[in-house]
Amino acid sequence: MSMTPVSMEPPFGKLDPSGMAALVDAIPEQIEQALERTDAAPWKLPKHEPDLIAFGGMGGSAIAGELTAAIYADQLPHPWLVVRDYHWPACVTAKSLAVLSSNSGNTEETLALDAEARARKVPCVVLSSGGELSQRARAAGDHVQLLPGGMPPRAALFHAWVPVTRLPAALGWAGDPEPGWREAITVLHEYRDQLGVDAPESRNPAKQLARALVGRRVFVYSAPGAAAAVGTRWRQQLNENAKVLAHSAAVPEQNHNEIVGWQNASDATRAVSIVLLRDREDSAAATLRLRLAAEYAVRQGATVHEVTSDGESRIARLASLVQFGDYVSLYLALAGGVDPTDITSIDDFKRRLAESAKTR
């Protein structure tokens, strides 16, 4: 990554040839469109109540399931599993419901999960923009919750997250999420005025944080539960958009092992910036542990920054943290002089994976 300061002000030109900035700026509109789309085409589910939800997907297609599980963790009467793998655990049976999520519909691991679910006679529904996964679902008579195509999966999160939050309501496991999303639209519109691409760095907290993170390792720390799911999203976006090595962890687990990694101050600890994700539902114990962990890291040479959620409902607050992280990852890419859309490393890995499969 280039260490020469680069402007984060539009127009971005060659820095953003595929228009990732416009996609991040359009998050509030994504929510509105997703609500309209799912109003017109609600979930069609099996008649029996499943003993659990098995949500299968990878990367930007899996995080909607993880965030939804976090939102409803204190309400769901049955388990909600998020599986990022080729295989389901043994507990996923014909009594369960498999939700197969792949933006492209061609994700290798998700197609394997789909095949295994059908072999086990697990009822399935699909969340996708098309591809092989949608074709299989339609051939089997399963419901396909259609997503708009033509954008990177990580940039389409809210298109998927909104309908996934409506799944617990369709099952009678939780209330209607629409009021929370309506609040989120308002909050995120206001946030866009502060954080959006047209807001200059001099008064834009997301651009200022990105500038502070240039050239540093980024550790995202949070309380457990919902904030930890957002921490995963931040890590993924920093990886894919900004092309930086990032890490996420939650207290209290961090205090029982990772904190020992901070024990000896070194060039490595001094190269780290910690971002603390804060939410008003953080317990007093978690808040104290985060503060003490951050203080310890500062003594070892790290820098610490905080980002606090905004809004009343849990959905709006988590959405505000996600939006902030998406902007930071975008601006960190631009500040470092890298294309936020480019995923050459993933494309290369898939090519080598395919070549290796042919030689087995």
Active-site amino acid positions:
240, 256, 350
Is residue 59 helix, strand or coil?
helix
Answer yes or no: are the C-beta atoms of 336 and 243 closer than 8 Å: yes
| CA angle 209–212–216, rounded 5-degree value | 120
Q: Among 123, 119, 68, which residue's Cα sits nearest to residue 100? A: 123
Is residue 340 helix, strand or coil?
coil
Tokens for 304?
């610490």
Answer yes or no: are the C-beta atoms of 55 and 160 closer than 8 Å: no
Tokens for 258?
């990772």
Name, in order, each residue with C-beta under 8 angstroms of 310's C-beta and a sequence gap of 6 or more.
Answer: 187, 191, 316, 317, 320
DSSP string covering 163-195: HHHHHHHHTTSS---HHHHHHHHHHHHHHHHHH
Tokens for 141?
């008579």
**How crowded is the C-beta side of 333, counted as CA atoms within 13 Å?**
26
Tokens for 352?
């080598």
- E runs forming strands in the chain: 53-56, 80-83, 97-102, 124-128, 144-146, 217-222, 246-250, 272-278, 303-308
Pairing of strands 53-56, 217-222: unpaired
